[in-house]
Structure 1
Amino acid sequence: MTPGEQIRDHALSLPGAWPDEPWEGDLVAKVGPEDKGKMFAFLGDTSVGVKAGASREEADEWLDRYPDDASVMAYIGRNGWNTLALDGAIPLEELLEAVEDSYDAIVAKLPKKARPPQE
């Protein structure tokens, strides 16, 4: 199984997570009601996009630790989103944890009635 498949499977196994393709060819993981779900991961074959911090400064820690494998996401990077390479220096465990942290950050912003039951 490739790292991209492992990340995808892990993201979609989180409580209440579901796949969506808001733009042709771009798979994302969302959580929340299907009509108002929020993205928590952009699932690519060679990278994953995640909410990497509550602020740009917090998310920049990834760029400092992995300058060749972490970058600010276009358009939404100012809100703490990063792109993390799957085939570089970032260990798979850290990538999986980054997806979980992104999920937790997005779930926390959902209205309580829209949050999935936690196992």
Structure 2
Amino acid sequence: MTPAELRAFCLSFNDAVEEFPFGAETSVFKVAGKMFALSHLDAEPLTVNLKCEPEIALQLRAAHPEIVPGWHMNKRHWNTVSLAGALPDRQVRELVEDSYDLVVAGLPRAVRLRLDRP
């Protein structure tokens, strides 16, 4: 997955926006003001921080060396995923979507309904 593909996919979700609260080099993708993905899109190798259920995060880290505890994040709830090519793009998309869904699930009911993701 290329940086442009990652950006486009993150922005394809309902109400997703890209912000730069940590500087111009770090893209933060949010839904309803809550972060679901974070990436330095010009970095080599390309990585993305994604929210994850703690138990699933441990399973993913054990199964894939490309997935490690979230860099500069709460290691229990966030993974850093390398997009250097070892993980299939389909799996990366699923991880991004899971992160988005997890953040949306924590939003107030009225916001979830507005996003059409109850």
Please tell me the TM-score bracket, short chain as reference.
0.7 to 0.9
Report Cα offsets for 1:93-119 as digits up to 9, x if no partner. Answer: 110111000000000101122334228
Q: 2:34 — aligned with what? A: 38
Runs of 4+ in 1 over 6 A off after TM superposition: none
- Aligned CA RMSD, in angstroms, stands at 1.7
Question: Normalising by structure 1, what TM-score?
Answer: 0.83
The answer to whether the Cα contact below 8 Å between 1:4 and 1:86 also exists between their aligned partners in 2 is no
Contact kept in structure 1, 2:38 and 2:48, CA below 8 Å: yes
Identity of aligned residues (%): 33
Cα distance in structure 1, aligned partners of 2:13 and 2:115: 11
Q: Find the counterpart in structure 2 of residue 91 from structure 1.
A: 88
Higher relative contact order (CA 8 A, sep 6+): 1
**Normalized against structure 2, the TM-score is what?**
0.84
1:78 aligns with 2:96: no
Q: 2:56 aligns with which of 55, 58, 63?
A: 58
Query: Is the alpha carbon distance of 1:92 and 1:44 closer, same or farther for their aligned partners in structure 2, counting shifts above 3 Å?
Result: farther
